[in-house]
Structure 1
């Protein structure tokens, strides 16, 4: 696998509905499903779940 296909750039969107996004890379071999991370949402002022959008 080439580097671009093994670790694609993904956008994480807040589940709080504020429109806040993070940009990160993920390892497609270790995380084949959509990535879900708990990150800080500055609009809400708390940590919320961020889901990968495609």
Structure 2
């Protein structure tokens, strides 16, 4: 049971505030082939910042 190219891979979202805080989520590779970018809460700086997909 090999897991080849999954349609929904697990991606790591890293804070752009430079705190090192990360979120882990899944994305649909067919609908969103480019890098994911979401605005989420960073508890280290205690505000909402942009999180980008790390490879």
TM-score under structure 1 length normalisation: 0.91
Q: How far did residue 5 of structure 1 move?
A: 1.2
Q: Which has the higher helix share?
A: 1
Q: Structure 1: which 5+ runs fail to align? A: none
Q: How far did residue 47 of structure 1 move?
A: 0.4
Q: Structure 2: which 5+ runs fail to align? A: none
Tell me the matched-pair count. 52
Please provide the CA RMSD for this pair. 1.3
Q: Which runs of 4+ in 1 moved over 2 A?
A: none
